[in-house]
Structure 1
Amino acid sequence: MQTFKYYLSFIAIIIINLLFLQCGTAQKEVIQMTTNPPFKILEATHQDWVAGVQGGGAGTTVMITFSDIDRDVEILNFYFGNFKALANVLPNKTLAYQANILNNINDDRSMNIDPKKEINKLPHPKSQFNVAPGNAIIEYRFNGNVNFYKVTKMIEKPLLAYPSANPNENRGGL
């Protein structure tokens, strides 16, 4: 009788664990990457930057230039590192999009005991993807559907350090 209770409780624990496991996996949305997108990428770059004054901020600029893009494609967001940022078309360059991702490096924000007044938050939501360094993900809408495409082997441009003062202000001599 004791052995029967042992097996019954063991089977009950297994069934309960399987039910919880099923609930956890059912909630996760599986997002598949597009392998044949309706565009062709000419160049994909990322460049870290830092302001030349204390508290001026820092971040990364992600730029993707297309050589061809279907007219029904709407580029929405870029995912880079752990962040998601809005992709903006560059003025006078209809085939080039850029996203600026800010970080807390060189940031002059202050802490506050009241969480509602706290401003030390990154302006970009965390990414739902685990994007490897040097890669990005493009979120785009095509034919009414949201799709994702992974960009690999992006070109890393050298750090852009903005000057601390206007170089024209300190001209001496002649």
Structure 2
Amino acid sequence: MMKNLKIIFGLITLPMVLLSFSNCGSAQDSSNKKAFNQNPPFKISEVYYQNWVAGVKEGGSGTNIYITFSEKNTDAVIQNIYFRNQILEAKGNINEPNQFVGYLKNDAQRDIVMDADPIKEAKNNPPKVFPFQLENNQAVIEYWFEGKKNYFKVSNITEKEMIPYPQANPNSHE
């Protein structure tokens, strides 16, 4: 009789403990939501993305996203561009100081180790959680201003015609 009570108690307690742990995780996820700044220290004149494909098989393909500012506070530091479930470093352009570009290269198959040995599988990098729910024509600009990290959401990003890079450099003389 006592043994049966212990089993029943265990069967009732275990689901409650597991449920409480699952609630902790969802509470943490909701606190990770990032708020958008509605009045950034810049004005955007143009945002577009452009797909590209290399002329050689191993060259790959990808998408570049371009953000051009008509005005930008000099204290605002543009860090990253969140686009298509990727976090892209915002790279400045020396020739156009008000333009930043994020380079998204379409990776071939990710190297994932599948093995009966869990130690070998543990070497796999878990996918990073993307912090925003964005449409294909939306991006988020991450920037530092006045010592704080901020986020600004951009919508209605236009697509420009794809760039097919040539197979060989036409200027090279072999």
Q: Please classify the TM superposition score into its range, dividing by the shorter chain length.
A: 0.7 to 0.9
Give TM-score, length-normalised by structure 2. 0.74
Q: For residues 1-40 of structure 1, what are the alpha-carbon distances to aligned partners after superposition, in whole Å with 9 as ceiling and x for unaligned?
A: xxxx9xxx8x978965763354123322121111111110
Give TM-score, length-normalised by structure 1. 0.74
The verdict on how the C-alpha distance between 1:25 and 1:169 changes in structure 2, with shifts beyond 3 A counting, is closer
More helix by share: 2
How many residues are treated as equivalent by the alignment?
Answer: 155
Residue matched to 1:66: 69
Contact 1:49 1:59 survives alignment (8 Å) = yes
Percent identity between the two aligned chains? 37
Provide structure 2 residue ranges, at least 5 long, that are not aligned to the other structure.
none
Q: For residues 92-118 of structure 1, what are the alpha-carbon distances to aligned partners after superposition, in whole Å with 9 as ceiling and x for unaligned?
A: 22211011111125x9x99999979x9
1:113-132 aligned within 5 A: 127-132=130-135
Provide structure 1 residue ranges, at least 5 long, that are not aligned to the other structure.
none
- Cα offset for 1:74? 0.3
**Are positions 1:80 and 2:78 aligned together?**
no
Q: CA RMSD in A?
A: 3.6
For 1:139, give the aligned amino acid: E
1:20-169 aligned within 5 A: 20-28=21-29, 29-104=32-107, 127-168=130-171
Q: For residues 27-56 of structure 1, what are the alpha-carbon distances to aligned partners after superposition, in whole Å with 9 as ceiling and x for unaligned?
A: 221211111111100000100101001110
More strand by share: 1
Q: Distance in 2 between matches of 1:15 and 1:81?
A: 38
